[in-house]
């Protein structure tokens, strides 16, 4: 049995020390963050302890600058694909809990194919497969078939190019097998790092085992999965505690495997049918607090992708894009079968109700009309830039050169295959602007060459 890497008492001490000492060097912490060195938990606690709106603004500005230094202005798009909703757990905040009584189901291979086709037709290239914990009806064999099915579907020249998964924790051996399925990132959220709250919101089922879940990413890495995504469900417990716990999690992975999390997700509790708690979260997080959470994580772990889902309203999402978010979902359905079947009701069968209901095209338009560059890139995973290799590019801020070129190419492909007249026009203007930002050299020349190839019908071009 591994020694717990998380010391809750130490996190609480760090938080109370930073609250008691407002003279601590706020500007020094911001300066360090701007140098892309990341922040210690003590330094992050200094930022979390501030309540002055002017200081908050400084944190937001710094986060924006760090995100641009690492990833440039691209925003990567993905969509979740829910494979099932039957679950042996009973988490009090979720619409899939076994005692909640919503319509629960498990998709057949045919239904997974239909869902994938619908998502491909929407322009997606990167999916996150989400499975509820139901070992009898949804085991490893079934997951393998699901991943194979998704990769096998094509529509014209389009296919899904990267499958990430969000599924229950496994043993090291099972993770080793999962790696062979050809997945990108393994994602799992601790929900809350506070052990007492964890027990109270997970009354039954295998998910009650806090420690098994806490060390899942360590086992995943031992099993050879080198891109992992961590997260917490904000609203269950004090957000400052959760942010510092996410940093402790990061540091433990870095210490043991030399690679921190590939992504960090920041979901807030959303309304779910049958869940009283989802209506009244015990530690409700305000919009401004969510902005601080995103920004401080961006400053503390500059190389991690920060993921935002459609749980949030469109206007807030647009604001958060400026504060360090680097990956976003669009037009998500949190109901198995929700993309391809009009009979599936979100109200009666969703894990939670989404807030941003815009179509993928509307999200793309909003992104490209602001100062961001939409991206359907899946290049790193496909050229082997994962784990430590990825971090070698990301930490000094070099990955953004690939990100910009791949954003230009994947966005152009989207415009040609799925865009309307408006996005084709505004998109071309954006691509011209993005090309101008590229340094003169081989990468720019090759990008221009590949853009011309896209016009001549070639697809799937990347660096
Ligand atoms: Fe992501 Fe790599 Fe593509 Fe950048 S180049 S968007 S890091 S896959």
**Would you state the pLDDT for residue 101?**
59
CA of residue 10 to ligand 1 center, whole Å: 36
> What is the value of pTM for the model shown?
0.95
- Residue 268: DSSP 8-state: B
Ligand 1 atom with the shortest distance to the CA of 405 = 5
Looking at domain 68-356+372-377, what is its CATH homologous superfamily? Aldolase class I (3.20.20.70)
Q: Which two tokens stand for residue 362?
A: 């509307």
Q: What is the rounded distance in angstroms from the CA atom of residue 52 to the CA atom of residue 190?
A: 30
Q: Return the sign of the alpha-carbon dihedral for residues 94, 97, 100, 104.
A: positive
405 lines ligand 1 (CB under 6 A): no
Question: pLDDT class for 81, splitting at 50, 70, 90?
Answer: very high
CA of residue 377 to ligand 1 center, whole Å: 6
Report whether pLDDT(428) > 70.
yes
CA of residue 348 to ligand 1 center, whole Å: 36
Question: pLDDT class for 205, splitting at 50, 70, 90?
Answer: very high
Residue indicated by tokens 């939409």:
374
**Would you state the pLDDT for residue 219?**
97
Boundaries of every domain in the chain:
68-356+372-377, 383-455
96 lines ligand 1 (CB under 6 A): no
Stretch (H or E) spanning 228: strand 228-231
**% of the chain with per-residue pLDDT over 70:** 94
* Greater model confidence, 105 or 451: 451
Count the neighbouring beta carbons within 10 Å of the beta carbon of residue 456: 6
pLDDT, tens digit, 9 for 90 and up, residues 156-191: 889 999 999 999 999 999 999 999 999 999 999 999
**Would you state the pLDDT for residue 58?**
98
Candidates 378, 379, 446: which one to mutate for ligand 1, based on the most atoms within 8 Å of Cβ? 379
């Amino acid at each position: 049995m591994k020694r717990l890497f998380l010391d809750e008492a130490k996190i609480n001490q760090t938080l109370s020390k930073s609250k008691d000492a407002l003279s601590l060097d706020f500007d020094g912490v911001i300066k360090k963050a701007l140098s892309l060195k990341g922040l210690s938990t003590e330094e992050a606690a200094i930022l979390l302890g501030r309540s002055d709106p002017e200081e908050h603004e400084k944190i937001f500005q710094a986060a924006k600058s760090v995100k641009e230094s690492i990833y440039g202005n691209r925003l990567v798009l993905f969509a979740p694909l829910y494979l099932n909703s039957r679950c042996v757990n009973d988490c009090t905040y979720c619409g899939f809990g076994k005692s909640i009584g919503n319509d629960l189901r498990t998709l057949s291979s045919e239904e997974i194919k239909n869902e994938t086709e619908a998502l491909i037709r929407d322009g997606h290239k990167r999916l996150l497969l989400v499975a509820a914990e139901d070992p009898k009806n949804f085991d490893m064999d079934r997951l393998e078939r699901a991943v194979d099915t998704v990769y096998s579907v094509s529509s014209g020249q389009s296919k899904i190019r990267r499958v990430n998964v969000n599924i229950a924790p496994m043993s090291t051996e099972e993770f080793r097998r999962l790696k062979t399925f050809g997945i990108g990132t393994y994602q799992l959220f601790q929900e809350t790092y506070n052990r007492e709250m964890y027990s109270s919101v997970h009354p039954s089922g295998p998910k009650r085992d806090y420690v098994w879940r806490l060390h899942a990413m360590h086992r995943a890495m031992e099993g050879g999965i080198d891109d992992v995504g961590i997260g917490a469900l904000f609203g269950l417990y004090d957000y400052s505690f959760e942010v510092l716990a996410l940093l402790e999690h990061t540091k433990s992975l870095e210490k043991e495997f030399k690679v921190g999390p590939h992504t960090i997700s920041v979901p807030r509790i959303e309304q779910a049918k049958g869940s009283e708690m989802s209506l009244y979260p015990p530690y409700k997080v305000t919009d401004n607090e969510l902005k601080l959470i995103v920004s401080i994580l961006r400053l503390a772990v500059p190389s991690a992708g920060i993921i935002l889902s459609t749980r949030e309203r469109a206007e807030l999402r647009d604001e958060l894009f400026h504060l360090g978010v680097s990956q976003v979902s669009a037009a998500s359905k949190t109901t198995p079968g929700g993309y391809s079947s009009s009979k599936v009701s979100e109200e009666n069968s969703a894990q939670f109700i989404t807030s941003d209901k815009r179509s993928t095209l509307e999200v793309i338009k909003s992104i490209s009309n602001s100062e961001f560059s939409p991206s359907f890139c899946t290049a790193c995973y496909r050229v082997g830039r994962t784990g430590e290799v990825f971090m070698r590019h990301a930490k000094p801020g070099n990955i953004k050169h690939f990100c910009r070129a791949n954003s230009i190419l994947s966005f152009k492909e989207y415009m040609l295959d799925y865009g309307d007249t408006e996005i084709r026009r505004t998109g071309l203007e954006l691509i011209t602007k993005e090309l101008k930002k590229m340094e003169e050299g081989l990468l720019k020349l090759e990008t221009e060459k590949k853009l011309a190839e896209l016009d001549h019908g070639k697809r799937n071009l990347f660096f």
